[in-house]
């Protein structure tokens, strides 16, 4: 290879490398790196449009162009204690239950709920009241069947917003004859 050829090659490659270095360094200056652990997901928005869900890993993000909403996929234990209801025969009752809320679809949850746990808790509580108001409870009502009914009812509501629950455990269940012993003011309703 002659010196002239080397000169010619260098005169072409060198400016290209310089331009590349300038572009890369400018891009790198504005990018920040984020780590998404395996119990989280990142919902990526580019230009205000959701473009996908980032799995576990580390990513370079340009905050000027894109936004990453981190969604925690870990369960959140919730308790509904002494929730008052009225069944289909107008009998007053109380129910306490425990379950775990978790995100099923991070993309849907990020778009539908401002706070996944608080908002989903309210939806779940309303779903319990609605489900209980359509039931007629006999003496033979078993806790397992009731748990299954409530789990199904709550899931149907929560899946619409990308959330889900584990199987419900009914920890307390009580109904009375109408308007005899129980009134909603007679017992405290503790919501954890």
Partner 1 sequence: MTALLVLLALFALFSFGVSRLARLGTLTTVSLLPHQRGVLFRQGKPIRDVGPGKHRVWAGRELLVHGDVRPISVNYENQVVALADGTAALYGFSASVQVRDIRKAIYSARDYTQVPAAVLLRSARRQFHVSSSSSLKIDKEAITNRISQQAKAKLDAAGFDLLSFRLPQLTLGTLQQRPAEQPPRP
Residues that bind partner 1 (CB under 8 A): 6-7, 10-11, 13-15, 17-18, 20-21, 24-25, 28, 33-39, 55-58, 60, 72, 74-79, 81-82, 94, 96, 98, 100, 117, 137, 139-143, 169, 171-177, 180-182, 186-188, 190, 192
DSSP H or E segment with residue 125: helix 116-133
* Residue 63 C-beta: closest distance to partner 1, Å: 14
* Residue 48 C-beta: closest distance to partner 1, Å: 26
* Residue 17 C-beta: closest distance to partner 1, Å: 4
Which residue lies nearer to partner 1 by CB, 5 or 49?
A: 5
Angle at CA of residue 181, ends 179 and 184, nearest 5°: 70
Are 74 and 145 contacting, i.e. CB atoms less than 8 angstroms apart? Answer: no
User: Is the alpha carbon torsion for 177, 142, 131, 99 positive or negative?
Assistant: positive
190/174 Cα distance (integer angstroms): 16
* Residue 133 C-beta: closest distance to partner 1, Å: 17
45/99 Cα distance (integer angstroms): 32
């Amino acid at each position: 290879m002659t010196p002239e050829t080397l000169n010619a090659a260098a005169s072409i490659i060198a400016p290209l490398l310089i331009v590349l270095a300038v572009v890369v360094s400018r891009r790198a200056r504005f990018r920040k790196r984020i780590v998404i652990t395996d119990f989280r997901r990142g919902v990526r928005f580019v230009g205000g449009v959701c473009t996908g869900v980032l799995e576990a890993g580390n990513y370079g993000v340009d905050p000027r162009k894109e936004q990453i909403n981190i969604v925690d996929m870990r369960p959140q234990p919730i308790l509904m204690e002494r929730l008052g209801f009225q069944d289909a025969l107008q009998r007053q009752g109380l129910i306490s239950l425990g379950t775990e809320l978790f995100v099923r679809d991070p993309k849907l949850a990020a778009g539908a709920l401002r706070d996944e746990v608080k908002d989903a808790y309210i939806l779940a509580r309303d779903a319990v009241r609605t489900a209980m108001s359509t039931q007629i409870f006999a003496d033979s009502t078993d806790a397992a069947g009731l748990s299954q009914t409530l789990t199904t009812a709550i899931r149907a509501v929560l899946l619409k917003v990308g959330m889900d629950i584990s199987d419900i455990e009914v920890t307390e269940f009580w109904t009375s004859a109408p308007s005899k012993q129980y009134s909603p003011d007679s017992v405290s309703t503790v919501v954890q």
